[in-house]
Amino acid sequence: MSKSAPAKTEAQTEIGLRPPGMTDRVMITGATSGIGLALANRLSPRARLLLTGRRSEDAVRSVLPEGVAYARADQTAPESAVAAIEAALARLGWDGLDLAVLNAGTGFVGDPADEPAARLRATLDANLVAAVLITRALYPRLAAARGRLVLVGSTARRGAPDIASYAASKAGLNGLARALAEEWRGRVEVRIVHPGPTATAMHAKAGHDPGRLGRLFAPPDTMAMLIERAAASDRPATTLSFARFAWRRAPKPR
């Protein structure tokens, strides 16, 4: 996949897979840990990056790849997250965006008959409402660059009793992507990727101990590699369940 394509429409279909050009403007949300950070590390040698997260820049600068821009955008407050992202894009002077990966997500494990309203709202806000509003806000820049929008869903989108509101939020993303992929066809490419269980801090944050099962989870680097491939493919939706990642590993960094 090493086509050198001068036309922009050609170039963007190769994003992430083409040789270093340092021309792509890429935004990744929730990029301070887990899959988002792994993806940022993969793309940083090849693209200009704007990363977002809910922690302050001082708290995360040391873990981020060198030379990337960072914006604090806490998605549990979707409207202010959008404002922070728009301000950061304006500061960078990016009038176009070649790739946006909306990866930020949160969730809590527990009996849904016992789920407090605040938790439910935080889950939907961070995972779904923020994604809808950020997608809306990014449209002019994505369209200007004929760029690509990648939503990170979850294999839980088909339903999961102990993470009901998380599953609901990810199903919402799937519905959003399915509609937009068709609606924006020819203007902005839309993809959704549904990762299976990945060995990130999310499980601990969600109050879930996978125990020995955790050893079967995908390493974040492997998942990031598979997401990058899925994002560059022609399939509008890709599910990266256990069968898809069990035998694959991202090559060790040289």
The answer to whether the CB of 34 falls within 8 A of the CB of 200 is yes
Q: Please provide the DSSP assignment of 210-253 as one string.
A: -GGGGGGSBPHHHHHHHHHHHHHSS-SEEEE-HHHHTT--PPPP
123, 165 Cβ separation under 8 angstroms:
yes
Do the beta carbons of residue 31 and residue 40 sit within 8 Å?
A: yes
Choosing from 11, 35, 163, 202, the residue that interacts with other proteins (CB under 8 A) is 163
Q: Count the Cβ atoms, other than its own, within 10 Å of residue 162.
A: 14
Among residues 179, 201, 204, 246, the one that binds other proteins under rule CB under 8 A: 179
Map residues 66-105 to x or -, x wherever contact with other proteins holds by CB under 8 A: ------------xx--x-----------------------
Residues 123-142 that bind other proteins (CB under 8 A): 124, 128-129, 132-133, 135-137, 139-140
Considering only residues 231-250, where is the footprint of other proteins by CB under 8 A?
236
Minimum CB distance to other proteins, residue 215 (Å): 26
- 168 touches other proteins by CB under 8 A: yes
Pull the structure tokens for residue 93.
Answer: 């002077």
Binding site for other proteins (CB under 8 A): 78-79, 82, 111-117, 120-121, 124, 128-129, 132-133, 135-137, 139-140, 157-165, 167-176, 178-185, 236
